[in-house]
Every structure is written in structure tokens, then in C-alpha cells.
Amino acid sequence: MLGLQLPTDPRWVNLAEKSLEDILTDHAYCEQKAATSCISLIQLFSDKDELVRELAPIVTEEWGHFRMVLHELDKRKLKLGRQRKDEYVGALLNFKKKAVAAKVICSNICSFAPSSKRVVASVFASFPCTLPMMS
């Protein structure tokens, strides 16, 4: 029916039958997040040409997936529901905000005192940079 390329665990099918609208809504927002995350990375690291070139087609692909999920919702006369809150995503966004703040601080310090670049780099290198763990 959906043209999946791999067999689906029957336990997942049982869960999906209970609320296909919720499953498709969640899937749509996952695709949207993937596209917008790539866009955010492009904006944040626009000076990294290779990264921008690698991310651009992913934006197109993920947004295409979002549109496909919307089509599946429409076909079934289902509605795109509200995006659910995800604690792990919240932790990742908080981590991203801290990383952006650190980049801005570092950039500001280096622009006012160019000779401090090596010192700033070594200070930031000493901080642990770990992503939040998924529970």
C-alpha cells in the first residue's frame, strides 16, 4: 500500500492502526524538522561551501517527503494535527542555542582582539561538547 522497501515489524502496524492520523502527523513533522534543521545549518555555516552544497539537496528531498505525507493525509481525509512536544528534540535545540551563543561570543572576542584567536580556540576546546543522550 505505501510501497515500503523493507518489511515492517508487525508490532508497529498494530500501533499505527490505532491512529494513522497521529502517525502521519508525527511523520510529517519529522520530515519538516529534517528540512528546517538543514536550512538552519546552512544559515549557521554559510561560509562552509562544501557543507552548504551537501545540505541543499537534503532540504529539497526532506521537504518533498513532507509534501508526500501531506498528500497521504489528504488522500485519507485526515488532518495534519499539532506537533507534539519531544523532550529529546527540546534538549537538542537547547544544545544548539548554546553552541550558537558560544560561536557568537568567540567571534566577538576574536573580532575585538584578533591576537586572542589561539587562546579562545584552546579555551573552547577544553569544554566538553556532548549531545544530550536519548532515554
Whole-number mean pLDDT of the chain? 78
Asked whether the beta carbons of 121 and 77 are under 8 A apart, the reply is: no
| pLDDT reported for residue 28 | 94
Mean pLDDT in residue range 18-31: 89
**CA 7/CA 73 separation, integer angstroms:** 22
Higher per-residue confidence, 120 vs 39: 39
What's the pLDDT score for residue 76?
94
| Residue found by looking up cell 549557521 in the block | 44
For residue 104, pLDDT beyond 80: no
Q: Give 9-84's CATH code, choosing from 1.20.1260.10, 3.50.50.60, 3.40.190.10, 3.40.640.10.
A: 1.20.1260.10
- What is the model's pLDDT at position 54? 92
Residue 79 has pLDDT above 90, yes or no: yes
Write down the domain spans for the chain.
9-84, 85-135
Tens-digit pLDDT profile for residues 28-58: 998 998 999 999 999 999 998 999 999 999 9
pTM confidence score: 0.57
pLDDT class of 135 with cuts at 50, 70, 90? very low
Question: Cα 110–112–117 angle (5° rounding)?
Answer: 20
52 contact partners, CB below 8 Å, separation of at least 6: 42, 45, 46
- pLDDT-derived band at 62 (thresholds 50, 70, 90) equals very high
